A = this chain, B = another copy of it.
Amino acid sequence: MIIDCHGHYTTSPPAHEAWRRRQVAAGRGMSNPIPRISDDEIRETIINGQLRVQGERGVDMTIFSPRAAGMAHHEADEARNAVWSDLCNTLIHRVCRLFPRNFVGVCQLPQAPGVSPANCIGELERCVTAYGFVGCNLNPDPSGGYWTDPPLTDRWWYPLYEKMVELDVPAMIHVSSSCNPNFHATGAHYLNGDTTAFMQLLASDLFRDFPTLKFIIPHGGGAVPYHWGRYRGLAQDMGRPPLTELLLGNVFFDTCVYHQPGTELLARVIPTTNILFASETLGAVRGIDPETGHAYDDTRRYIDGVPWLTPADRAAIFEGNARRVYGRLSAQLERQLSW
Beta-carbon nearest neighbor of A267 in chain B: B261
Q: Looking at the complex, which one of B186, B195, B287 makes contact with A191 (CB distance below 8 Å)? A: B195
Contact with B along A57-86 (1 / 0, CB 8 A): 000000000000000000000000000000
List the B side residues contacting A286 at CB < 8 Å. 233, 237
Binds B, one of A7-15, A142-150, A329-337: A142-150
List the B side residues contacting A287 at CB < 8 Å. 233, 236-237
State whether the Cβ of A219 lies closer than 8 Å to any Cβ in chain B: yes
State whether the Cβ of A184 lies closer than 8 Å to any Cβ in chain B: yes
Number of A positions contacting B (CB below 8 A): 59
Is the pair A233, B285 in contact by a Cβ cutoff of 8 Å? yes
Distance between Cα atoms of A183 and B284 in the complex (Å): 25
Given contacts A234-B186, A234-B187, contact A227 B196 (CB under 8 A): no
Is the pair A237, B285 in contact by a Cβ cutoff of 8 Å? yes
List the B side residues contacting A202 at CB < 8 Å. 184, 187
State whether the Cβ of A229 lies closer than 8 Å to any Cβ in chain B: yes
Distance between Cα atoms of A146 and B141 in the complex (Å): 12
Beta-carbon nearest neighbor of A180 in chain B: B147
Is the pair B203, A199 in contact by a Cβ cutoff of 8 Å? no
Is the pair B192, A259 in contact by a Cβ cutoff of 8 Å? no
Q: Looking at the complex, which one of B149, B222, B237, B289 makes contact with A232 (CB distance below 8 Å)? A: B289
Distance between Cα atoms of A199 and B296 in the complex (Å): 18
State whether the Cβ of A37 lies closer than 8 Å to any Cβ in chain B: no
SS class, residues of chain A in contact with chain B: helix
Is the pair A258, B230 in contact by a Cβ cutoff of 8 Å? yes
List the B side residues contacting A182 at CB < 8 Å. 140-141, 147, 149-151, 196, 200
State whether the Cβ of A210 lies closer than 8 Å to any Cβ in chain B: no
What is A's interface to B at a CB cutoff of 8 Å?
A: 140-141, 145-151, 180-184, 186-188, 191-192, 195-196, 198-200, 202-203, 219-220, 222-223, 225-234, 236-237, 257-262, 264-265, 268-269, 284-287, 289, 296-297
Number of copies: 2
30 A-B pairs whose Cβ atoms sit less than 8 Å apart in the complex:
A140-B182, A146-B146, A147-B180, A182-B200, A184-B199, A184-B200, A186-B230, A187-B202, A187-B231, A187-B234, A192-B192, A192-B195, A220-B227, A222-B223, A226-B262, A228-B261, A229-B258, A229-B259, A229-B285, A229-B289, A230-B258, A230-B284, A232-B289, A233-B287, A233-B296, A233-B297, A234-B284, A237-B286, A261-B269, A264-B265
Beta-carbon nearest neighbor of A263 in chain B: B229
Q: Looking at the complex, which one of B149, B188, B233, B262 makes contact with A196 (CB distance below 8 Å)? A: B188
Beta-carbon nearest neighbor of A226 in chain B: B226
Distance between Cα atoms of A23 and B198 in the complex (Å): 34
List the B side residues contacting A195 at CB < 8 Å. 188, 191-192, 195, 223
List the B side residues contacting A285 at CB < 8 Å. 229-230, 233-234, 237
Supplied contacts A151-B182, A261-B269, 12 more A-B pairs, CB within 8 Å: A147-B180, A182-B200, A188-B196, A223-B226, A228-B259, A229-B259, A229-B260, A232-B259, A232-B289, A234-B285, A237-B285, A259-B269
